[in-house]
Structure 1
Amino acid sequence: MASSVAWLLLVTGGSVAYLSAARAERRAGRRWSRSRVTAFAVGAGLLAVAALPPVVAFAHHDLRGHMVQHVLVGMLAPLGLVLGAPVTLVLRTLSVPAARRVAAALRSRPVRVLSHPATAALLNVGGMAALYATPLYAATLSSPALHHAVHTHVLAAGCLFTWAVLAGPDPAPHAPPMRTRLGVLLVSVAAHATLGKLMYGHLLPLGTPHGPDEIRAAAQLMYYGGDLAEGLLAVALFATWYRRRGPWPTLRAERPGRRLPHLV
């Protein structure tokens, strides 16, 4: 229960900070899209749902509840949060020297490596494989610290993957062309589906108190929940691509996200 309350407080605090910054932008006469606010609110709302005490209690003893949390935290919520462009809002809110330091970090080599879609996909789907195809999940059942670390990784990897594939709306100065990002997304869809089938067929994760029917139901939730989340991500990717390029875009023409906001 304490972890649920802490989680809800973090989500509430982040949401209040975002909404306050967006309101300050509007009061200063600078445009901030309501669609971004809505997207961020939806993402934060999904995180809050995953942290509700009944959901947390369900997840603690049932793999199906855990998988509902996983889909919400690692797949659906990140899309809303990323579409809310929180980094851009931070850059506008910070002082010029601080914003320049953040911009320099975005241009750095470590961020270049981490933000490549292939790296982000490895951390995202690879993290899921490590959780369910190794003894890691069983270990989280007896270690609250490991359990929270896994949830933190799931959220961070989901946000990183979403940003890397969309190359926006936040600055993405190292983003590869559309065809690369689309290819990585398709490979990730296939890898995610394969993992779901392996869980269903081989009753993964092993070494847990969950019965076969429960594991198969959880695998189905992961499989179809992943389809939904990845389908929405694909829609957002093509919508962003079309908006940038206009009518009749081409896969090879675009290199998005090269610019950072002017920090004046």
Structure 2
Amino acid sequence: MHSHGGTLGTFTLIALTVAGAVYIAGTAGQRRRGHTAWPLARTVSWIAGLLAVAAVLVGPLGHAGGHDLTTHVLGHVVIGMVAPVLLVLGSPVTLARRTLEPVPLQRLGRLGRNPLTRALAFPVVAAVLAVGGSWLLYTGTTAADSTRDPALHSVVMIGFLLAGLLLTAGVVGVSAGIRRSPRWLRVSVAVLSTAVLCVEAALMDTAGVPGIPADQVRSASAALWIGAVLYAVALGVVVAGERGRDERAARDERAARDVQTAGPAREARPTPDTPVASDPAR
């Protein structure tokens, strides 16, 4: 754990551990609830995503990222691009819909219908937050400050994580009542976001980053554009396979309705709003 471990590091580890434990608890007993067994690949993806977050916030990338721009950018790529893809592919919303009791299930549905949630999940808005935040960071003095202030470094990385989750969910497509944007829009957002990040990396290389030694900037800019391209490829692969996931989602939805009407105990459980888009990893 790095220098600013203390309370922040402990809280981070506890939060990530709880997220992993709750997810695994939700996957257990799916057959007992009348569902098909939860896919192991989704569980592996979720746990890997949590480990990626831990590596950046309380692990070696977090420690080095607080002192070196190249490692800082690598942390950005891992927590803002790699971790969001892994976490979204873990299908936590689908797991929650299959596991939660009626009252929290209804609250989840209301959250999905909330105008703010819909706005943040819109791909264009999510891209502006994710890419705009990166641009402001590396063209201003905040990047240099965050390589010297461990607490600020953690705040910046958490911001990348949240923005990356929004962008990934917006491009891949989300459920819980949030309408999935047209494929052409989502693909366009992914392509344009990648282009902007590559331009940003080129500007970093040519103009430098305020307060950062020049010898650190070249490798940092290379890490940014490589990470952006790989992130776009990963999103493209997931979007390309969404038809098959939609078909599986429809089968799961029918099976869930059958389970809910199979007996008296299930009859009391309200059916959640049928999502207009499948969970990304279905």
Instruction: Give the TM-score category using the shorter length.
Output: 0.7 to 0.9
Of the candidates 176, 179, 185, which is equivalent to residue 190 of structure 2?
Answer: 185
Q: Residue 198 of structure 1: CA displacement?
A: 0.9
- 1:38 maps to what in 2? 44
Q: Residue 138 of structure 1: CA displacement?
A: 2.9
> What is the 5 A alignment of 1:119-158?
119-141=125-147, 143-158=149-164
Structure 2 gaps of 5+ residues are 249-273
- 1:253 maps to what in 2? none
1:22 corresponds to 2:27: yes
Structure 1 gaps of 5+ residues are 247-255
Specify the code of the residue in structure 2 equivalent to 1:158: G
Greater gyration radius: 2
Q: Residue 117 of structure 1: CA displacement?
A: 0.4
Deviation track 1:120-176 (CA, whole Å, cap 9, x = no partner) reads: 0001101101111122223334544433321111101101100000113x4352221
SS at match of 2:66: helix
Q: Residue 5 of structure 1: CA displacement?
A: 4.8
Paired positions, count: 248
- 2:83 maps to what in 1? 77
SS at match of 1:61: coil
- CA-based RMSD of the aligned residues comes to 2.4
Of the candidates 202, 205, 224, which is equivalent to residue 200 of structure 1?
Answer: 205
Specify the code of the residue in structure 1 equivalent to 2:15: L
Deviation track 1:56-92 (CA, whole Å, cap 9, x = no partner) reads: 2221211111111111100001001001111222233
- 1:258 maps to what in 2? 276
Asked if the contact 2:208–2:217 (Cα under 8 Å) also holds between the matched residues in 1, the reply is: yes
Compute the TM-score of the two structures, normalised by the length of structure 2. Answer: 0.80
SS at match of 2:132: helix
Q: Residue 179 of structure 1: CA displacement?
A: 1.0
> How far apart in 1 are the matches of 2:227 and 2:47?
20
Of the candidates 218, 230, 233, which is equivalent to residue 231 of structure 1?
Answer: 233
> What is the 5 A alignment of 1:49-64?
49-51=55-57, 53-64=59-70
Compute the TM-score of the two structures, normalised by the length of structure 1. Answer: 0.85
More displaced 10-residue stretch of structure 1: 135-144 or 97-106: 135-144
Asked if the contact 2:246–2:277 (Cα under 8 Å) also holds between the matched residues in 1, the reply is: no
Specify the code of the residue in structure 1 equivalent to 2:276: R
Specify the code of the residue in structure 1 equivalent to 2:242: T
Asked if the contact 2:120–2:126 (Cα under 8 Å) also holds between the matched residues in 1, the reply is: yes
More displaced 10-residue stretch of structure 1: 32-41 or 50-59: 50-59
SS at match of 1:25: coil
- 2:258 maps to what in 1? none
1:12 corresponds to 2:17: yes
> How far apart in 1 are the matches of 2:90 and 2:177?
14
> What is the 5 A alignment of 1:152-171?
152-168=158-174, 170-171=175-176
Specify the code of the residue in structure 2 equivalent to 1:61: H
Q: Residue 35 of structure 1: CA displacement?
A: 2.2
Specify the code of the residue in structure 2 equivalent to 1:171: A
Specify the code of the residue in structure 2 equivalent to 1:187: L
- 2:260 maps to what in 1? none
> How far apart in 2 are the matches of 1:241 and 1:220?
34
